[in-house]
Structure 1
Amino acid sequence: MAADKKNEGKLATVDGNHSTDEGLGLEILQIIKDSQQQHGLRHDDYQRYRRYCASRLRRLRKSLGFKMGNRHKFTEKKITVDVLSDSRYLLLVLMEAERSWSYAMELKQEAIAEPRKRYHSLARLRKAAKHGERLEKLCECPRVDARTKLEAQAYTAYLTGMVEFELQQWTPAVEAFNKCKTIYEKLASAFTEDLAVLYHQRVEEISPNIRYCAYNIGDQNAINELMQMRLTGGGGGFMAEKLEALITQMRAKQAATMSEVEWRGRSVPVKVEKVRIFLLGLADNEAAIAQATNEETKEHLYETLLSECRDTIQVVREELKAEAKQRERGPDPHSGKVSNLQFLHSYLTYIKLCTVVKRNENMANMLQVKLKEPQAADNKRGPRPQDLIRLYDIILQSLAELSTLPGVEKDNTFQGEVVLKMLVYKAYRCFFIAQSYVVVKKWSEALVLYERVLKYAREIQSKSKTLNNSLKDLPDVQELIADVNAEKYSLQASAILDIDDTAEVPSQQQVKDNKPLSECLETFNLNHTLVRKQANLVHFPPDFEPIPCTPLFFDLALKHLAFPPLNNKVMKQKDKADKIEQKRKDDKVEQKCQGGLTGYIKGIFGFGNT
């Protein structure tokens, strides 16, 4: 709501008609971008944005008094040039176009699972384009300023181009997008930096659509530009899906010429089309990852490659199951040898595991750079050595799986390369475990682990003499040895300083903390702990102290004394008790006699006692 008032506040001016000296004005692109970013489109939530547009339309109609009838009857009202006395009327038409556009995008998302919704999506997109045309016609009024007219024309051209793009009418679509691009480029050159950045962003959003249309028209050079945009992360959302589908379609055309693949000195026929498509695009994907400069783009490309690899491996697994069923039916002449399909499965698994290793190594390199940077002053937690340990654990696990792939168990060269790689990553993992011990000041454990790193490094150097080409894609071991030597000297110095600090602290604490104030009243001591709430004043609870016991008395004359007889007192007490009991019995008989026959009967049945 606050953002809405801010945007609507841009329309307000000195006089009450929301106009300027030049005429009515509306920052169309600025309002659209702010509304979209604040109400769902940052997370591709088109439904939320549509609801926002509907509620804002309701507020605008209420503030303008431009209601469509009442709650009982709908009466349509059209905004004409004669009514156009306030810029909010232009905003009203703009929000109607945005509501239709967001509904079209929402239906397009749902059309992936329900194809029938594509027709409804096209209808809403056409309606958005009609609202855009209405806005452009209203802006032709002389009271509207020149900038608003140009922005309305660009907005209408964009919506028209989207409609033609969805209908696969490539020539009208590229004409509309080029018109939109030209207007925004001119506006960017005419205004300040902030607005120029906004207009240039819109041009970058339109560029993938223009190149895609040009490719479909017949421009073969456009595909290279699209691939470059894919590397830089351009063309998000639905355009990215179209680009991936286009690349897959191109690879499918090339896959018809591919018949086999060679790995570890063995040629394997490739009969499955999906496998051929993946293997053809593997070199392009690796080149794209190598050329990518943005880390987010590189991570996205790694994830895309891994996803394609998993899907391809799943297809080969299905073929392996069918092959296993055929083997069960009859004897297999090649029972002692790994089949071509199984060897192809091993090759694809090798590609997947190597990609996992490269991705985690790239993430580890990023974290190492951040670890060396000085920590920021804010309270945000930066990277720690423990984060790197987890990455190297995943790398070692992937390398262990490589050594167990069917078809390469007896390949000594391959196994030696895997063992060498594992030693390199074990050394790095051990180095960062030592770093984590340094953080918690466990000096002896860290020093032992540094020595273990040097042991791994010497072993790597001895084994790399026979495998010269195996270390070219691995991290530099010499750099690791230099880091370990530097860290060892730093560790020894820190350990010595830490021992000196710990030796001074107990003596101070013994003077200040262990003795309470009641025991050092005769000496002056500047102790700041005495002014705190938990000052050490006395020992509490107090210690136990020995006290003298009470003397013991022994009655030695007890057996030599004769006590007087007590028989008379006992008999008196007994006679007294008998008299009391006899008196109680006489009282009961007297009560029964006074009651007559009724009392006697009550006495018999026990009612007289109540």
Structure 2
Amino acid sequence: MAGEGESVGQENEMSGEQTTSNQAIPQSFTVEVLQLIKEAQQQHGLRHGDYQRYRSYCSRRIRRIRKSLHFPQGGKHRVQPKKITVEMLTDPRYLQLPLFSAERAWAFAMQLQSEANTEPRKRFHLMSRLKKSVQHADELNALSESPKCDARTKLECQAYSAWIKGSLYFESSSWENAMEQFTSAKTIYEKLSGALTEDLQVLYQSRVEEISPNIRYCAYNIGDESAIRDLQNMRLKSGEDQLTSKLDDLLSQTREKQAATLSEITWQGRTVPVKIESVRVFLLNLQESSKELESAENNETKVSIYESLLKECIDAQQALRDALQDDQVFKAATRGQPIEGRISNQHYLHSYLTYLRLTKTVERNLLLIDNLKNYLPGRVAEEGRKITKPQDLVRLYDIIIQNLNDIPNLHGLEESPSLFEEITTRVTGFKAFRSFYIAQSYSAAKKWTEAIALYQRTITNADKALSGYKKLKPQGMFKDEVASLNELVKDVNGLMYSCHASSILKTDDTTDSLGVLPSSDKRPLKDRLDTFAEDRSLTSKKPNITSFPPDFKPIPCRPLFFDLALNHVEFPSLEEKMEQKKAAGGITGFVKGWLWGGGKK
């Protein structure tokens, strides 16, 4: 069943498929083949390279078209294939059946192509699917010859059929036939691009750009040596898109043939043979990458070239590790155990590849740093571009320093003091840049003392690195880093004095505002007269001086009169007038009073 995410697309398709056989037949109809398949591919998986999802979509669409046309292929229990004839073309949807059948077979072939790298047997299945796609494309081309189809439909069907055939010949290494078919398709799409509106011109022109690398690769295999340079130029101009990966694959396939002449390499005075094919291809690509970097127009293209180079380096290292599985010294080295003596040639080659990966990563990160420096605070930034923080550059310099520190630990470099001196000098120089951007972070936070200390450390590391660069040979190899350090020292001297002045101004401001702290006490002023704090509400229209109306308090009641002499008056004694009791007479009187209650007075 189709997913919920495709329900809207299915309803739109079905709305155009709800016609009846009694509807009037047009004199001619148009099927925009390229636009139809491109929209389907972008909406159903190929935007992310998911060929299986697109293949499933093609199956569902074929089933829906057959159902709407009342053109089934048998019943529930039996399949009865029906061939579409020219006389049956009463609806343009009949042409979509062979079109999406060809697309389904082609998508299956592309899915198998990505899996054939690990399972070679799937290549046979791949070729059979491409042949099936060619059959459906030929059927589409034959149906388009009907007078009911207009000229544009005929040209598009011819171009699509030629492109599918070219893909089959390309996979089977039939270079001349592939070049002929691709050239035919390219010519038709160029003519259509010049005859249609601007919106459609972009679509057809992108198709031409997809076909051009295949034509140049076929020309190279036929014998045109200049074709490899054309592929490299296409790679430089492509930037980062789906065409880039395709060009990388074509270039790697081209270099596989050239790599047969690369049999050994020399590094740090030792020559070792190169026996593994993927390592040869990578080393050949490394030699040509310097020319590509010089021809690159911007930093983004250079970073893209470095990314492709690092990816190939990782693949070459993995292939070499697989070949070193039986080398006990290599296994001990990977576990961190110390080794003695001279290592094998393949082990030394692995150290060389690791050295290349680390150095190329450093060069890639330096390009990223140069790009990020353009968007630091205080510089003119592009609209919508995120401003770079100094912490971002500090992180990149940390990675660079870590990569350089890993180089002296490589096996086989125990007797290379010149390399150790070079690495130490470069690490010191990059530490100066790291200290500089850490100081920038503290300066932005107005921590002037810490910033000044880091600026001083920057100057110390920079001077030490500059003296070290003078001892290296050849000196011109690191002229860019030396120039950057000299410029850094000039900038730091000015910034350090600026921070010193700012710290003095901060001290004066602190002295002037000593004790003037913002008040968080909400009590009225009359209740906090012993505590001084800045209260801006006192100068406003409603100062908080006292609470009004005042709170209620308990007080004694008001007396009716005041007798001030009452406490000083001596009253006469009244003891004589007071009644006195007589004491009882002996035990007899006590018993009498107890038994009979006594007498009353």
Q: What TM-score do the two structures reach when normalised by structure 1?
A: 0.71
Alpha-carbon separation, structure 1, partners of 2:140 and 2:342: 73
Q: Is the 8 A contact 1:231 1:292 kept in 2?
A: yes
CA separation of 1:320 and 1:427: change in aligned 2, threshold 3 A: farther
- Secondary structure in structure 2 of the residue aligned to 1:402: helix
1:122 maps to: 127
In structure 1, what residue type is equivalent to 2:228? I
- Superposed CA offset, 1:4-54 (max 9, x none): 5667889999xx96998x831122111211211121112211010011112
Deviation at 1:231, TM superposition (A): 4.0
Identical pairs, percent:
42
How many residues align? The count is: 520
d(CA) in 1 for partners of 2:153, 2:202 = 18
Q: 2:56 aligns with which of 45, 51, 55?
A: 51
Gap regions ≥5 residues in structure 1:
326-334, 531-536, 539-544, 548-610
Could you tell me how far apart the structure 1 residues matched to 2:254 and 2:542 are?
78
How far apart are 1:283 and its partner, in Å?
A: 1.5
2:158 maps to a residue whose letter is: Q
Task: Name the SS of the counterpart of 1:403 in structure 2.
Answer: helix
Q: Deviations over 1:301-341 (max 9, x none)?
A: 3244334445555677766974859xxxxxxxxx8777777
Give the corresponding residue for 1:26.
31
Post-superposition shift, 1:194?
A: 2.0
Residue of structure 2 aligned with 1:460, choices 445, 461, 465: 465
1:480 aligns with 2:483: no
Q: Equivalent residue for 1:204?
A: 209
Aligned-pair CA distance for 1:367: 2.1
Aligned to 2:72: 67
Aligned residue number for residue 600 of structure 1: none
Inter-CA distance 19–42: structure 2 relative to 1 (3 Å threshold): farther
Question: Aligned equivalents of 1:300 and 1:108: distance in 2?
Answer: 24
Give yes or no for the alignment of 1:87 onto 2:92.
Answer: yes
Q: What amino acid maps onto 1:127 in structure 2?
A: K
Contact 1:97 1:129 in 2 (8 A): yes
Letter paired with 1:402: I
- Listed as ranges, the gaps of 5+ residues in structure 2 are 1-6, 331-339, 528-534, 548-552, 556-601
Give the equivalent residue in structure 1 for 2:570. Answer: none
Deviation at 1:435, TM superposition (A): 2.7
Query: What amino acid does structure 2 have at the position aligned with 1:105?
Result: M
Judged with a 3 Å threshold, the aligned counterparts in structure 2 of structure 1 residues 488 and 153 are, in CA distance, closer, same or farther, namely farther
1:119 partner amino acid: F
Moved more, 290-299 or 135-144: 290-299
User: 1:251 corresponds to which residue?
Assistant: 259
| Residues 15-414 of structure 1 aligned to structure 2 (within 5 Å) | 23-233=28-238, 235=243, 240-252=248-260, 254-256=261-263, 258=264, 261=266, 263=268, 266-270=269-273, 272=275, 278-293=282-297, 295=299, 297-310=301-314, 322=327, 346-371=351-376, 383-405=388-410, 408=413, 411-414=416-419
Q: Is the contact made by 1:161 and 1:177 (CA closer than 8 Å) also made in structure 2?
A: yes
| Cα-to-partner distance string for 1:217-258 (whole Å, 9 max, x where unaligned) | 333332332343344458555674354133123112x125x5
Q: Deviations over 1:346-381 (max 9, x none)?
A: 544433322121122122222222335656776x86
Write the distance in 1 (CA, Å) between the matches of 2:542 and 2:78: 85
Q: Does structure 2 retain, via aligned residues, the 8 Å contact 1:18–1:86?
A: no
Structure 1 residue 127, shift from structure 2 partner: 2.1
Q: Which one-letter code corresponds to 2:62 in the other structure? A: L
**Residue type at the aligned position of 1:128:** S
CA deviation profile, 1:276-311 (whole Å, cap 9, x unmatched):
665444321333344334655534432443344455
Tell me if structure 2 keeps the 8 A contact 1:104–1:121: yes
> Which secondary structure does the structure 2 equivalent of 1:514 belong to?
coil
What's the offset of the Cα at 1:96? Answer: 2.2
Cα RMSD over matched residues?
A: 4.5
Q: Would you say the 8 A contact 1:154–1:179 is kept in 2?
A: yes
1:471 is the counterpart of 2:484: no
Distance in structure 2 (CA, Å) of the matches to 1:6 and 1:506: 74
Structure 1 partner of 2:455? 450
Deviation, structure 1 residue 409: 5.0
SS at match of 1:93: helix
Contact 1:19 1:25 in 2 (8 A): no
Q: Structure 1 residues 375 and 362 mapped into 2: Cα distance closer, same or farther (>3 Å)?
A: closer
SS of 2:361's partner is helix
Using the TM superposition, give the Cα deviation of residue 430 of structure 1 relative to its aligned residue in structure 2, in angstroms.
Answer: 1.3
Contact 2:145/2:154 (8 A) holds in 1: yes
Q: Residue type matched to 1:203 in 2?
A: V
For residue 407 of structure 1, report the CA deviation from its aligned partner. 5.7
In 2: Cα distance, 1:506 partner to 1:146 partner = 89
